[in-house]
């Protein structure tokens, strides 16, 4: 069942595809915790990096840094498609998440930012000619897996930074980024770049995590990486200049719509670029630059180990939910 909510704020819409249960449909009708008005005509200015977040930023989020993420994926890339995607980012979730991106013409030019091993790109090339698709990621280890996929032959594959894309303004018709925003030190900057690189009338689609409400899941999520709240996505898109901002909720079928543990792939957020040119949002210098060590080696190693250990919790959660789905009565709330 697909349900839309007019309560998601002016100019915004919330859609839930994470479950077909009546309980999930009822949950869609709840308004987001805070509504964000559409952007004004004058530019917005953020005076510091901390203003790109609408909640406390003291959580460690040990892997939400470019260098830690680089080495985290150096190892994870070897098994990513085999152990991560089956539990968090399935093919049916991918198809549902890409519907709002409006990949409705094979001649559209599409960029897949943070595309990693190319799993999301495989969904894109089902609708778009491979020669019109560009995949970019900061991890050469992930990109090596993408280059090995026969279906991605013809796709342009580049190494680069989501917060500083190597493309001209107004270059693409569609922007897609799945499973990447959680590693951006400044998500607002990344979404500002999404606005810049697409053409007037183009659609940007960011697919990513949602913040958990259950205390234990929230602890591990905040130690590991960024799990945004739904209203934060709306705020980032709106501040960047997007209009017609929408959120589509997604999730593994065996979760039965449960979202209290958070989801590594929990929503697909889209916005339309109203006019050509750069974003009206003005920001200062980047907080982090790829390839530059931001801490001493010992601190870096500790962050990487502790962050990876926290991430292991989210390897266990989908297994727990899968087993619970098998034994839990279908008419009982999960």
Comparing 13-27, 78-92, 310-324, which segment has the lowest mean pLDDT? Answer: 13-27
Query: Over 70: is that where the pLDDT of 7 sits?
Result: no
DSSP 31: P
More confident residue, 310 or 77: 310
Instruction: Work out whether strand 133-137 and strand 243-249 pair parallel, antiparallel, or are unpaired.
Output: unpaired
Q: Give per-residue pLDDT as tens, 147-180.
A: 999 999 999 999 999 999 999 999 999 999 999 9
pLDDT class of 72 with cuts at 50, 70, 90:
confident
CA geometry: angle at 92 spanning 87 and 98, to 5°?
A: 110
CATH number belonging to domain 38-247+260-327: 3.40.50.150
User: Which residues, other chains included, contact 274 with Cβ-Cβ below 8 Å and sequence gap of 6+?
Assistant: 200, 241, 242, 243
More confident residue, 293 or 305: 305
More confident residue, 100 or 81: 100
* Mean per-residue pLDDT of the chain: 84
Q: Within 10 Å of residue 81's Cβ, how many Cβ atoms?
A: 18
Tell me if residue 187 falls in helix, strand or coil: helix
pLDDT class of 23 with cuts at 50, 70, 90:
very low
* pLDDT score for 289: 63
* pLDDT score for 192: 98
What value does the mean pLDDT take over residues 30-56? 36
- Give the C-alpha separation, 63 to 317, whole Å: 19
Q: Give per-residue pLDDT as tens, 217-231.
A: 999 999 999 999 999
* pLDDT score for 35: 34
C-alpha Rg value of the chain to the nearest Å: 19
DSSP string, 229-272: -HHHHHHHHHHHT-EEEEEEE---GGGTT--TT-EEEEEEEEEE
Beta strand spans in 104-242 (E): 110-113, 133-137, 156-159, 172-178, 198-210
Name the residue ranges covered by the structural domains of the chain: 38-247+260-327
Residue 20: CA atoms inside 13 Å, Cβ hemisphere, count? 5
More confident residue, 46 or 121: 121
Query: Over 80: is that where the pLDDT of 24 sits?
Result: no
User: Which residues, other chains included, contact 140 with Cβ-Cβ below 8 Å and sequence gap of 6+?
Assistant: 159
User: Which residues, other chains included, contact 146 with Cβ-Cβ below 8 Å and sequence gap of 6+?
Assistant: 115, 116, 117, 118, 121, 135, 137, 152, 155, 157
* pLDDT score for 13: 57
Is the four-CA dihedral 181, 34, 271, 6 of positive or negative sign?
positive
* pLDDT score for 68: 80
* pLDDT score for 146: 96
More confident residue, 304 or 157: 157
- Give the C-alpha separation, 121 to 137, whole Å: 12
Query: Over 50: is that where the pLDDT of 31 sits?
Result: no
* pLDDT score for 29: 32
pLDDT class of 50 with cuts at 50, 70, 90:
very low
* pLDDT score for 62: 85
Where does residue 43 rank: exposed (0-12), middle (13-18), buried (19+ CB within 10 A)? exposed
* pLDDT score for 252: 96
Write the CA distances from 232 to 54, 153, 274, integer angstroms: 7, 36, 20
Instruction: Work out whether strand 13-16 and strand 110-113 pair parallel, antiparallel, or are unpaired.
Output: unpaired
Percent of the chain with pLDDT over 70: 80
């Amino acid at each position: 069942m697909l349900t839309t909510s007019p309560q998601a704020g002016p100019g915004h819409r919330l859609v839930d595809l994470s479950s077909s249960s009546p309980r999930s449909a009822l949950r869609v009708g709840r308004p987001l915790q805070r509504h964000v008005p559409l952007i004004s005509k004058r530019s917005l200015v953020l005076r510091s990096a901390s203003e790109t977040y609408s909640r406390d930023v003291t959580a460690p989020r040990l892997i939400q840094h470019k260098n830690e993420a680089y080495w985290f994926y150096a190892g994870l890339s070897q098994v990513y498609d085999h152990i991560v995607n089956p539990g968090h980012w399935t093919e049916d979730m991918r198809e549902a998440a890409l519907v709002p991106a409006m990949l409705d013409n094979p001649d559209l030019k599409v960029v897949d930012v943070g595309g990693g091993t190319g799993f999301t790109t495989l969904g894109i090339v089902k609708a778009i000619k491979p020669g019109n698709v560009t995949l970019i990621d900061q991890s050469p280890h992930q990109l090596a897996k993408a280059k090995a996929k026969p279906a991605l032959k013809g796709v342009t594959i580049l190494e680069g930074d989501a917060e500083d894309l190597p493309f001209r303004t107004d270059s693409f018709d569609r922007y897609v980024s799945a499973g990447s925003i959680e590693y951006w030190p400044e998500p607002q900057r990344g979404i500002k770049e999404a606005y810049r690189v697409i053409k007037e009338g183009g659609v940007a689609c960011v697919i990513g995590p949602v913040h958990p409400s259950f205390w234990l899941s929230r602890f591990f999520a905040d130690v590991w990486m960024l799990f945004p709240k739904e209203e934060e996505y709306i705020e980032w898109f709106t501040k960047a200049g997007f209009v017609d901002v929408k959120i589509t909720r997604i999730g593994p079928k065996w979760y039965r719509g449960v979202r209290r543990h958070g989801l590594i792939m929990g929503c697909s957020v889209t916005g339309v670029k109203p006019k050509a040119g750069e974003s009206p949002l003005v920001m200062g210098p980047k907080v982090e630059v790829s390839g530059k060590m931001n801490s001493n080696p010992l601190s870096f190693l500790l962050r990487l180990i502790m962050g990876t250990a926290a991430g292991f919790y989210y390897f266990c959660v989908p297994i727990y939910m899968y087993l619970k789905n098998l034994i839990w009565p279908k008419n009982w709330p999960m």
